[in-house]
Amino acid sequence: MLDTAACGLVQTAADGTFRRANRLFCQWLGYAADQLVGKRRFQDLLTIGGRVFHQTHWDPLLQMQGSLSEVKLELVDHAGKAIPVVVNALRRTDGDGVVHEIAVYIARDRDKYERELLMSRKRLEVLVADATRLQAESKERALFAEQMMGIVSHDLRNPLSTIQTGTALLARGALSAGQQRLLSRISSATDRATRLIADLLDFTQARLGSGLAVMRQPIDLHAAVAEAVEDLRLAYPGRGLVHEQIGDGTCLADANRLAQLVGNLVSNAMTYGAPDSPVRVVSRGDESYFSISVHNQGPPIPPEVLPHVFQPMSRGTEAGRATRSVGLGLYIVSEIARAHGGRTTVASAPGEGTTFVTILPRTPELAPAAAADQDSR
């Protein structure tokens, strides 16, 4: 029965001397049974490391707990080749004294698996280290780029301010019609560059800081939006721009930031909306929140673009390519809304046009309620 077993079966005396060894065990190691029984000890067939383990752990553990399970060792065969094995051992007492019953299993496949697992783990550690390093380098480059953007944008304000002042002084003099047109173009280009720099500075502040700074003060929402709309009518002559006021406009907000928000939304609507249809701005005050919406007719925002319109550097359709900026306007709109404790959403569909709606709490304390109310709507 021992010789038909599917594993190596060995019995040794307490000192490790072989008393029995089945046929499979002898075949694995290249010994005849009579070369082992009574002549060799089990530990003599172990590698040096295995012999140390046998002396320091095997015997003490068998004496203390009476058995060992799943011990991985290497046996050295008759030709001197190491064979990985897994060993279970049992200490018992019979009529001849203490004996050790040992079952041996070849573990080549298991050993190969463990080696491959170790190699894979090392490769994974290298890949993770490389990915971590590349991520850190990428963040560092992005941070440097954003810091440089803020520095350059800030430094450009002074020369542009000089150009604006000079243009205003020249406009007071006697100029020909051609000079007036040229001066108007210079003034318009300077204003556009100033707005672009303001957007870049706001973008840098939003990305590197804790968000855009707002100064809430008691204002009349309708009056603030109306003033912004009047300025925009001058910027877009020949285009229809309608302002509708609903409800009580009393609120706590940053009037300058709201004017910037309206300007960015109207600029977007003028760029992508139908030229022959007016842009409609609605300022509305309700019990717990106030809102600003801007609607334009024209081709809808493509469905694949819609989820990303508030991301920085996001571009819309090819329409209005010559007049659009670097793609920060809607991102800044969303940041202004967030700084007030609200948010901006967009809806766009064929035949219905595009509507951006910014809903903000009437006071900072109502921010959670306003957000919940907006979600319900």
pLDDT digits (tens, 9 = 90+) for 192-241: 777 777 777 777 766 666 678 888 999 999 999 999 999 888 888 889 99
Most confidently modeled range among 28-42, 122-136, 155-169, 306-320? 28-42
Q: What is the pTM of this model?
A: 0.53
Burial 261-297 (b: 16+ CB within 10 A, else e): bbbbbbbbbbbbbeeeeebbbbbbbeeebbbbbbbbb
Q: Which three-class secondary structure string do you get for the chain?
A: CCCCCCCEEEEEECCCEEEEECHHHHHHHCCCHHHHCCCCEHHHHECHHHHHHHHHHHHHHHHHHCEEEEEEEEEECCCCCEEEEEEEEEEEEECCEEEEEEEEEECHHHHHHHHHHHHHHHHHHHHHHHHHHHHHHHHHHHHHHHHHHHHHHHHHHHHHHHHHHHHHHHHCCCCCHHHHHHHHHHHHHHHHHHHHHHHHHHHHHHHHCCCCCCCCEEEEHHHHHHHHHHHHHHHCCCCCEEEEEEECCEEEECHHHHHHHHHHHHHHHHHHCCCCCCEEEEEEECCCEEEEEEEECCCCCCCCCHHHCCCCCCCCCCCCCCCCCCCCHHHHHHHHHHHCCCEEEEEEECCCEEEEEEEEECCHHHHHHHHHHHHHC
Confidence of residue 253 (pLDDT cuts 50, 70, 90): very high
Q: What local confidence, expressed as pLDDT, does residue 366 receive? A: 56
Round to whole Å and give the CA distance between 191 and 161: 10
Write the single-letter amino acid at 297: Q
Round to whole Å and give the CA distance between 333 and 257: 9
Of the candidates 78, 75, 77, which has an alpha carbon nearest to the alpha carbon of residue 105? 75
Q: Is the pLDDT of residue 363 over 50?
A: yes
CATH 3.30.450.20 residue window(s) in the chain:
8-106
> Minimum mean pLDDT among 93-102, 166-175, 218-227: which range?
166-175
Is residue 339 within 8 A of residue 213, CB to CB? The reply is yes
Q: Is the pLDDT of residue 323 over 60?
A: no
CATH fold for domain 217-376: Heat Shock Protein 90 (3.30.565)
In CATH, what is the architecture of 8-106? 2-Layer Sandwich (3.30)
CATH 1.10.287.130 residue window(s) in the chain:
116-208
Confidence of residue 125 (pLDDT cuts 50, 70, 90): confident
Phi, psi of 308 (to 5 degrees): -115, 10
Classify 116-208 by CATH class.
mainly alpha
Q: What is the mean pLDDT of residues 93-102?
A: 89
CATH 3.30.565.10 residue window(s) in the chain:
217-376
Report pLDDT digits (tens) over 273-299.
999 999 999 999 998 899 999 999 999
